[in-house]
Chain A
Amino acid sequence: MSRCVQTILTGILTGSHFNSLSKSEWRDLILVARANSLLPRVASILLSDADNDFHIPPTAHAHLVASIRHETLFHNQVINEVKLVNAKISRALNNKLIVLKGAGYVIADSKAAKGRIFSDIDLLVLKDDIPKVERALHLFGFVSDTDSEYDQKYYREWAHEIPPLRHFQRGTVLDVHHNIIPVVSGRAPNIEFFFESTIETEYGVEVLRPAAMFLHSAIHLFFSEEFTNGFRDLSDLSLLLDEIVGDVDEVDYLFELAENTGFENELFLAFRYLARVFNKHVPANVIQNFKYPQPKGIRLAIDDFIFGKVLAANHRLVDVKFRRIAEWLAFVRGHLLKMPFNILVKHTAAKLWRSIVKSVTGDVENNQHIQQKDVKEQ
């Protein structure tokens, strides 16, 4: 009887699994890790940790080495791009440039940078600085990715960021934010709290301090409507948690920041599903800091149903009953959190129309782990 591949995967990712695998378990591990954007992370854990007892067969080793090569180059490119962008726009800013999420982990050299691949660089600047930053970036070759009038309006009026900017030659995509969640949601925090939660890095830009990094990652995950990389995001949270559990001040700061910004529920959900889906041990001295009345009853049951499924590894080899229903509920939940109902109806109508046109004209779209690409480019 073969072990569940998700158990093997979480075992490796949380550092608690040290047994050898059969050939077919290696095959399944690589498939599931790759589909969930976790192959480089699995590789960096297995190849760097000399203490584990894994005998890695050469066939599997080839794929691990390959993904590490990819990650190393990618991280070098991200650091260069951040330095370049900072050099171009820092004079337009009244505050130091703050790098968020994946690029932030890399810049901070956080544990969560390990094997992390992402598609765009997220930046946080003061809202008042946005017009200047946008002009400066235009000048240096970053142009808006979308020409749809609807998208432009959506971003300008309701979002917490401007439309993504793509460099016309290098293809790098920048997401410039002035808040961490959409303004229209009514939950956008006083962003000052996050501007005060940063640390300097050797690259001249700032990143969030570990506690704020964890909280932001949790907020981002539990405000999503789409969970293609949900399992990977849990893995990020697991590593980000490792950065703070040993530091009482950071743990205190985490709960203080969650309280000040109104995101205690997201923090609660992060701990809950780290333990339930990811088999992550969350120390009692961390959990006991909760003053906030914890959700229970039907609300908690619904959350458990949704997140117990959508945060599981996404692959046909991981059998999750009713996953589609949970995904649909998560989709509705995510949208309701982000926008008031009347705006949601308008937004859904616009998106639905677009997808009808697509399905009739026969565009097969793939929003999974592999970048869409024409065979022609081969």
Chain B
Amino acid sequence: MSELADTQYLNAVKKSELNIEFGLISVNVSSSFSQVTKTIAELYRDYKVSLNSDWFDFNISVERPSNFRRFFRPQAVFKLDGHIPFKPLPSAHAYPLFEWGMNWCVANFYHKYLIFHAAVLEKNGKAVIFPAPPGSGKSTLCASLALSGWRLLSDEMAVLDIETGKVLPFVRPICLKNNSISLVKDWFPEAFISDIATDTQKGDVAHVRPPTDSVRRCEESADLFAVVFPKYVANSPTEVFSMTQISTLNMLIENAFNFDLFGHEGFEFISSKLPNLLLLEATYSNVDELRNILESEVNN
């Protein structure tokens, strides 16, 4: 992306000629919002792109709706192949809408792989899945690990290939919410963080540019090593508990996007994987302490 001249980029993104290559999928992106095109250029700086390619998996855009609302309290709509799957948001939330819309496409249509709502990071060839509901501090932990030398595979989706048993990267900007935005800014002043969209459904939201190395390795799958359920509790000591296979399975299913679509196959796959994985629940308030524990596990 960074090799494109500014005018070339803007031209391509306005005319729906720009594909971002994620390895997993190829997405054609366009938008009439300069806020969106600017943020895409910043956050996807290190991605491979193609112009006028003869393939994409999804063609998405964020546009102004064509009704009277254009003139007061303007809105932004997300479109997949010209269709509007969900309600518009205030135009100030156009960029988060772009990211969430792309997540929605994959979670709703890309059922080639088993997908869980989880962050995935890898170190030493060992991938750790962090499934967690909102509020558990998953994204903060994810940003902290990704910016401290772990390879980012995904902030939102653990993509599992049930044929090879591997976890596939779907590297995207990390979505930070509320207080975690300033925390990550303090911890990693050199990290690039997008403008903040205030008062979205998830509160204030900003996106972190994924590390260059993680983006470059977006076609490199990883072996599953552990499933860790993080739980941020203010002022708590860092404590790690072992999880049973059955409760891990239950919690994974709770965080699944398409487990039901895989029927027996999905169940058999997970059941055969769990005995070989490290299964943990981690309560923490200090991210560094938790990171040290995880690093000693993957370095073993």
Contact = CB atoms under 8 A, between A and B. Distances in A.
B54 A371 contact: no
B87 A69 contact: no
Contacts of B57: 59, 62-63
A245 interface: no
A359 B67 contact: yes
B110 A66 contact: yes
B84 A366 contact: yes
B76 to A, nearest CB: 11
Interface residues of B, number: 39
Contacts of B80: 370
B201 A360 contact: no
A182 B81 CA distance: 35
Given A362-B67, A371-B85, A372-B86, A378 B261 contact: no
B69 A362 contact: yes
A368 interface: yes
A27 to B, nearest CB: 5
A297 B112 CA distance: 52
Contacts of B109: 34, 63, 66-67
B223 to A, nearest CB: 22
Contacts of B84: 364, 366, 368, 370
Contacts of B261: 69-70, 72-73
Given A23-B54, A378-B100, A373 B65 contact: no
A66 B112 contact: yes
Contact of A62 (B83, B110, B201): B110
Contact of A73 (B77, B88, B260): B260
A374 B89 CA distance: 10
Contact of B68 (A73, A360, A374): A360
25 contacts: A23-B54, A24-B55, A27-B54, A27-B55, A59-B26, A59-B57, A61-B112, A63-B112, A66-B110, A69-B258, A72-B261, A359-B67, A362-B67, A362-B68, A366-B85, A368-B84, A370-B83, A370-B84, A373-B85, A373-B104, A375-B87, A375-B97, A375-B101, A378-B104, A378-B107
Interface of B: 26, 54-57, 59, 65, 67-69, 75, 77-78, 80-89, 97, 100-101, 103-104, 107, 109-112, 201, 258, 260-263
